[in-house]
Structure 1
Amino acid sequence: MNLEHLKALVAVIDEGTFEAAADLLRITPSAVSQRIKALEASVGQVLVRRRLPCSATDAGALLLRMARQVQVLEAETSAALGSGSAARAHLPVAVNADSLATWFVPVLHQAAEWEDSALDLRVEDQGYSSQLLREGEVMGAVTSDPIPVSGCKAELLGSMRYIPVATPALRRRFSASGGVDWAAMPVLKFNTKDNLQQQLLTGKPLRQSPPTHTVPSSQGFLAAVKAGLGWGMIPELQLTDELESGALVRLEDAEHQDVALYWQAWTLDSDRLNRMTAAVRAAAKGRLLPGDAAEANGPSRAGYRRQK
């Protein structure tokens, strides 16, 4: 498989069109098309779906992952030989928005010192980020999937705790004789993949579904809860002094949901990838709950969230 053909495959999938890939590679769109066709001929399968944006077929995803690995190893080898020290290798990584807003921040501080790498973050729900590994889109991912993707290794980082909170005014407004009127009090959700709130409501005797607002942003979600728009499951790490100051209150002291997070990465002997893994591991240590708290606590339920 020709290295230039593999580079064209990566460019087409990353940029979305043959024209954009041509601009990136500084060749003509016709040359990009010829390289993709030659690569497809060499493997005997269609690798790229010609649509807007272009996407990889199942066979293309396999070659895409290999192509990214080759690019990383090529950059590291060139640097070791002294012929590519100025090149920055791209490190595509998937991380969920709640992690990015909290415990993952120290990784960014470390990455700022890496002069040989360019971090390419893909924000995706932790329950779906492993799919990006399967498709060859990323080299590593923060995921809730403990089963390693083929060609990857997985390690437990710890658990992220979510607690149900609301403003005191909203809590008083929807108080019932037995506690919270869950059927009437408005609830927030992050997006269609967010089922954390629904998991808590599943155990409640509801006569109807509560009014539901959608706020697809970690910071915006917290701001909406603080504004009294509704109640929501907020990462404990994201609550700085809201509970202590009384700006927010827990709806039920014993209620919480713990989401076990894993780091999955390619089984590739790469200095850059190993460094990324070490940074993620160090950032999680002391910030996430040790071990799989969702299993250790029994009644607590793991949930999925957050995309953007």
Structure 2
Amino acid sequence: MMDYRALEALSAVIEHAGFEKAAQVLNISQSAVSQRIRQLEFKLGQPVLLRTSPPRLTELGRKLSNHLQQVKQLEQGLQASDEPATELNIRLAVNADSIDTWLAPALAACADSQRMNFDLVIEDQRVGLKRMKNGEVMACICESAQPVNGGLAQALGTLRYRALASPEFVAHYRDAVTPSKRQYSDQPYQWLQQAPCLRFSGDDQLQHQFLNTLNLQAPRRMQRVPSSGGFVQMALAGLGFGMIPEIQVREYLASGELVDVAPETVLDIPLYWHYWQTESDYMAQLRHAIVQRAAQLLLPL
């Protein structure tokens, strides 16, 4: 019989990046958290947690955490079917640009959304799947089409990114290269490597991908802006160029407050909904609502 108190302790340590915060959340002592995990390891005969800073799961630990996530989902599904008023706690790993553009109306489209308590974990679309692998979330939105063990993936659509900046920014940095030099240059966008570039986080590689398509090296000047809305404001203020979802700034493109630094080049990033095979009925309803609304708001794959 699996010790689910120990699995809860293991999950809390990973989710809160340490034993102390896990103890606070579980309302037990830090030593009790450690004891539960040690007893679990003794019973299984191998470690489930690497005592690093922050702690990391072993392969067995990931399997156990995944198992707990699926059990929680099924339990909530059973409770929800018996008690219509029961609140549902749903933890999702999503990228910030989806939250700031299309995700909210998609979540609201689910019939049960009014009793769902959403806990959204922000992760870049390139790396969000690690949350599923660690069993930390019930579902995940990311760009990978490859599901984790025990999971499935369903296509949502494409989020189109453009390299944007203010007209003043472009004029200042592009015109630092004289017209005569540009005329004979085989790389008319070379100036972008010298210009300040906006980056959401250390996992954000969109700017690198964009410059690579132009046969340019990685940007030399970076401005880290861990806010999707702040990212746009920084671009409007002329503090850098960056990859911004087209649907987020249509009004600024129409008004000319933002312009393409390389109009013929876009990045189309695919998005997929990852979920567990042991999907509960209410999570299936949420998935269907999100897939349907995403098809209306995103570009097709």
Q: TM-score, normalised by structure 2?
A: 0.84
Residue 187 of structure 1: how far off its partner (Å): 2.4
Partner Cα distance (1:38, 1:146) in 2: 37
Contact 2:127 2:203 in 1 (8 A): no
Change in CA separation of 1:187 and 1:27 when aligned onto 2, cut-off 3 Å: closer
Match of 1:294 in 2: none
Q: Deviations over 1:23-77 (max 9, x none)?
A: 4444444444443233222222212334554442221111011112112222332
Q: Deviations over 1:199-257 (max 9, x none)?
A: 33235476995533222221111111111112222110111311111111122321111
Note the 1:103-122 alignment, pairs <5 A. 103-110=102-109, 114=113, 116-122=115-121
Pair 1:239 & 2:249 matched: yes
Contact 1:111 1:119 in 2 (8 A): no
Partner Cα distance (2:218, 2:17) in 1: 44
Contact 1:58 1:135 in 2 (8 A): no
**Once superposed, what is the RMSD of the aligned Cα atoms?**
2.7
Match of 1:2 in 2: 3
Match of 2:239 in 1: 229
Match of 1:13 in 2: 14
Match of 2:74 in 1: 73
Segments of 5+ residues of structure 2 without an aligned counterpart are 183-187
Match of 1:214 in 2: 224
Segments of 5+ residues of structure 1 without an aligned counterpart are 292-308
Greater shift, 211-220 or 17-26, is seen at 17-26
Change in CA separation of 1:115 and 1:134 when aligned onto 2, cut-off 3 Å: same
Note the 1:231-270 alignment, pairs <5 A. 231-270=241-280
Residue 162 of structure 1: how far off its partner (Å): 0.8
Q: Deviations over 1:83-102 (max 9, x none)?
A: xx665443221111111110
SS in 2 for 1:40: helix
Change in CA separation of 1:172 and 1:62 when aligned onto 2, cut-off 3 Å: same
Change in CA separation of 1:52 and 1:203 when aligned onto 2, cut-off 3 Å: closer
Partner Cα distance (1:225, 1:159) in 2: 23
Note the 1:93-112 alignment, pairs <5 A. 93-110=92-109
Pair 1:144 & 2:143 matched: yes
SS in 2 for 1:222: helix
Q: Deviations over 1:160-212 (max 9, x none)?
A: 11112221112222234335533443322223322222233235476995533
Change in CA separation of 1:225 and 1:59 when aligned onto 2, cut-off 3 Å: same
Match of 2:299 in 1: 289
Residue 152 of structure 1: how far off its partner (Å): 0.8
Greater shift, 100-109 or 175-184, is seen at 175-184
Q: Which amino acid aligns with 2:288?
A: A
Residue 266 of structure 1: how far off its partner (Å): 0.7
SS in 2 for 1:101: helix
Greater shift, 112-121 or 59-68, is seen at 112-121
Match of 2:131 in 1: 132
Structure that is richer in helix per residue: 2
Partner Cα distance (1:211, 1:11) in 2: 38
Q: Which amino acid aligns with 1:39?
A: L
Partner Cα distance (1:274, 1:62) in 2: 22
Change in CA separation of 1:114 and 1:105 when aligned onto 2, cut-off 3 Å: closer
Moved over 6 A (4+): none
Partner Cα distance (2:13, 2:166) in 1: 48
Change in CA separation of 1:79 and 1:51 when aligned onto 2, cut-off 3 Å: same
Match of 1:159 in 2: 158
Partner Cα distance (2:8, 2:219) in 1: 50
Q: Which amino acid aligns with 1:47?
A: V
Partner Cα distance (1:39, 1:146) in 2: 34
Q: Which amino acid aligns with 1:146?
A: A
Contact 2:95 2:125 in 1 (8 A): yes
Q: TM-score, normalised by structure 1?
A: 0.82
